[in-house]
DNA sequence: AAAATAGGTGACCATATGGTCACATGTCAA
DNA sequence: TTGACATGTGACCATATGGTCACCTATTTT
């Protein structure tokens, strides 16, 4: 029960990952970092305000890091919180097995 | 945009992880697997129905696997979807660096 | 067979969340 | 310095989500 409350902090990370649009924004930044709001906006079927709100959520969660330059704001993906999610439920010992299993699954699925 | 829609499937995994109670249930199963509903219920301040609903969501997402025996139902943690989340935004090359960084962070924080 | 135990369903309600709009600020170019 | 560009804010609304309750089924025990 202690854990229950202590962990409430990373609520923001999981809440941020819960929305498909936000995950897609992370995908875009994963493919190529340093994008501006306008650039991201054009990739999603949504108004600028919606995208901004999503980016705000991602930034608050620490999943996206920004850097301003003049009137532009560049967005970068931060993988650290993702790794922490991983480490929460996959310990060092089982990691090898699980990773191998997932890799195998991917191979089998792409082979077809 | 293709990715955007193709990935809609794992919506369930992220939605499942979005709730603190569900994450706590995963913590409980991570600590010791094979728990029954009644056992999990007593660890959370919530009615049995709430816990059941959460377990259902976790099961639908594939994060929890169950096995019935008589009138009891045992719950087990499945780490595979967690690993898939990891692999989506952390590639093989940066994994080493990120993992080392997170480990270092943990050391520094527990040292104090 | 009756009672107790373990789990399950559908409806219901308060609140949280995603998305848009009107309006506003700061920066660059002509 | 005027206009265009890039990003920001607060209010607002429809829908999704978490939690409870009344009621129900299946299995074990006495």
Answer for A49: CB within 7 Å of strand C: yes
Is residue A89 domain-shared with residue A50, that is, in the same domain? no
Is residue A106 domain-shared with residue A71, that is, in the same domain? no
Is residue B52 domain-shared with residue B91, that is, in the same domain? no
* C1’ D28 / CA B52, Å: 22
pLDDT mean over A26-40: 96
What are the structure tokens assigned to B88, written together? 């989506």
Q: What are phi and psi of A94, to 5 degrees?
A: -85, -15
Please name the residue whose C-alpha is nearest to the C1' of nucleotide D21: B49
Place of tokens 């929460």: A88
Round to whole Å and give the CA distance between B15 and B81: 12
pLDDT mean over A41-46: 94
Total domains in chain A come to: 2
Nearest-10 crossing angle of helices A92-111, B80-89: 80
Instruction: Confirm or reject contact between A80 and chain B (CB < 8 A).
Output: yes
Is residue B54 domain-shared with residue B97, that is, in the same domain? no
Please name the residue whose C-alpha is nearest to the C1' of nucleotide C25: A71
Is residue A11 domain-shared with residue A38, that is, in the same domain? yes
For residue range A47-83, list pLDDT tens digits in order. 999 999 999 999 999 999 999 999 999 999 999 999 9
- Closest CA–CA distance from residue B49 to any residue of chain A (Å): 19
Q: Do A88 and B24 touch (CB under 8 A)?
A: no
The residue segments making up the domain with residue B102 are 80-112
Is residue A89 domain-shared with residue A101, that is, in the same domain? yes
Round to whole Å and give the CA distance between B102 and B108: 10
Round to whole Å and give the CA distance between A99 and B107: 24
Is residue A6 domain-shared with residue A36, that is, in the same domain? yes
Confidence of residue B34 (pLDDT cuts 50, 70, 90): very high
Q: Angle A60-A27-A9 (CA atoms, 0-180°, nearest 5)?
A: 25
Is residue A60 domain-shared with residue A15, that is, in the same domain? yes
Round to whole Å and give the CA distance between A81 and A83: 5
pLDDT of residue B78: 97
Q: Tell me the residue length of chain A.
A: 112
Is residue B42 domain-shared with residue B65, that is, in the same domain? yes
Place of tokens 């305000």: A49
- Closest CA–CA distance from residue B64 to any residue of chain A (Å): 12
pLDDT value at A86 more than 90: yes
Confidence of residue B3 (pLDDT cuts 50, 70, 90): very low
For residue range B62-106, list pLDDT tens digits in order. 999 999 999 999 999 999 999 999 999 999 999 999 999 999 988
Q: What is the CATH number of the domain that holds A39?
A: 1.10.10.10
Is residue B63 domain-shared with residue B91, that is, in the same domain? no
Is residue A56 domain-shared with residue A87, that is, in the same domain? no
Is residue A49 domain-shared with residue A74, that is, in the same domain? yes
Residue burial B68-94, b: 16+ Cβ < 10 Å; e: rest:
eeeeeebbebbbebbbbbbbbbbeeee
- Rounded to two decimals, the ipTM of the complex is 0.90
């Amino acid at each position: 029960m202690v854990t229950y409350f202590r962990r409430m902090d990373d609520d923001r990370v999981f809440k941020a990952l819960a929305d498909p649009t936000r995950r897609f924004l992370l995908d875009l930044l994963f493919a190529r970092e340093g994008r501006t709001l306008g650039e991201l906006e054009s990739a999603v079927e949504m108004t600028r305000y919606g995208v901004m709100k999503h980016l705000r959520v991602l930034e608050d969660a620490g999943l996206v890091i920004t850097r301003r330059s003049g009137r532009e704001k560049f967005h970068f993906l931060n993988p650290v919180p993702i790794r922490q999610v991983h480490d929460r439920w996959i310990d060092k010992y089982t990691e090898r097995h699980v990773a191998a299993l997932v890799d195998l699954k991917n191979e089998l699925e792409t082979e077809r």
